[in-house]
A and B are shown apart, each in its own frame.
Chain A
């Protein structure tokens, strides 16, 4: 139905984004296609090497899931940090990704974890890495009539360190001004085996630069390396100005928080 008349129907999951926009008079769809009653879209499944989160699982469900808390603690933490409890109980993780609001917590963490989405559409099913899903301001790679069905997150190896830092410049119940997610694992000799850093809420899309991290592999993650990576991210990112912070301010915060995120990673994985 959504593919037949894309301009007049909108898909709704939790409604925390779409209904808000309808109330603000920004969108006026003639039909709403509700996903909440479609069976099997809201469970969280242990698939061995990965965790498969149903797109209609609420943010609270993800945050409080024992499986997510043990296997993906930085994701559980980020989900607990979203908005407030009233929003978390209704908003869905799939809806959060599909809305692609830049001032959001889950996308950066999911990208740092190498997550991907299972997408269903009239032309069939496909998978899209979360890193490629959000393509612009409130814009995703999803075509008309496509729906995210699952968010699949690879389980990090035992001993991996991961965290998410949400920086709010205004009230305690607010969108992030800057969000930094990082994850690293070390070889037996203490050198970096793998490393991923993603910065959210500063630009239309989450900012993720594997090329800036390549040279870090094999080195020790110490103060000066963390500072180097933080400086590289701060220089590469062109942040937005908005009421949570100016572009200049965000650059300073990015520099400080990327370093902090790299050095303060909690051991969270099994």
Chain B
């Protein structure tokens, strides 16, 4: 099923693309993200915990980013498995960035989501609503992240539980350290 949504970032497209490609910032803003590790350039292994009422699937899998069309278009593919319900989710994202009013960017996201297994029983309506809520929290966090000057205290992560927040921070710090140690450009 294809879900389309859009949000605005209060920076020009070039900067918006940098932010969206910055794993550190993005990881902090994805609600429920528990672990993320870059295994190859632009390929990550991650664990994402979701909650739809009493059902709490945890998807473990990979994410591959394609930045070849940046800053106009960013693409990514992901696949994850939730063992508790025996479900597999496959997602293809694309984000088209265009300059909106001066100095800001309209990000139009299209996500093709396929769910196999028991979670598929929830139906498209529920999955769409859950995906839109994740997108809403993500874009709000990203936008407020841009308002905070670089190097200052980061904005709070969307509601994911205190202990989960600690795990995210530990992993992000570790990730950032390794990034610096490699002497690679990026981060921030």
Contact = CB atoms under 8 A, between A and B. Distances in A.
A95 B113 CA distance: 31
B183 interface: no
Contacts of A139: 51, 53
B68 interface: no
A77 B55 CA distance: 31
B128 A240 contact: yes
A241 B53 contact: no
A242 B130 CA distance: 13
Interface residues of chain B: helix, strand, loop or mixed (majority): helix
Q: How extensive is the interface on chain A, given as a class?
A: 20 to 34
A138 B124 contact: no
A10 interface: yes
Interface stretch (B13-21, B103-111, B115-123, B150-158): B115-123
B126 interface: yes
Contact of A138 (B53, B84, B85, B118): B53
Interface string A144-162: 0000000000000000000
Given A24-B121, A25-B118, A26-B85, A240 B129 contact: yes
A136 B85 CA distance: 22
Contact of A241 (B51, B52, B121, B128): B128
Given A7-B56, A10-B54, A99-B53, A26 B121 contact: yes
A240 B118 contact: no
Nearest to A136: B133
Interface in A23-59: 24-28
Contacts of B125: 240-243
Contacts of B188: none
B86 interface: yes
Interface residues of chain A: helix, strand, loop or mixed (majority): loop
B117 to A, nearest CB: 9
A125 interface: no
Contact of B52 (A24, A138, A240): A138
Contact of A242 (B51, B84, B123): B123
A204 interface: yes
Contacts of A137: 52-53, 126, 129-130, 133
Contacts of A18: 54
Contacts of B119: 26
Contacts of A25: 85-86, 118
Interface in A114-166: 136-139
A3 interface: no
Contacts of A242: 123-126
Interface in B8-61: 51-56
Given A138-B52, A242-B123, A28 B128 contact: no
A62 interface: no
10 contacts: A24-B121, A25-B118, A26-B54, A28-B84, A136-B133, A203-B129, A240-B128, A241-B124, A241-B125, A242-B125
Q: Which 4 pairs from chain A and chain B are nearest by CB?
A: A138-B53, A242-B125, A240-B125, A26-B55
Given A137-B126, A138-B52, A138-B55, 14 more contacts: A18-B54, A26-B119, A100-B53, A137-B133, A138-B53, A138-B54, A138-B126, A204-B129, A204-B133, A240-B125, A242-B123, A242-B124, A242-B126, A243-B125
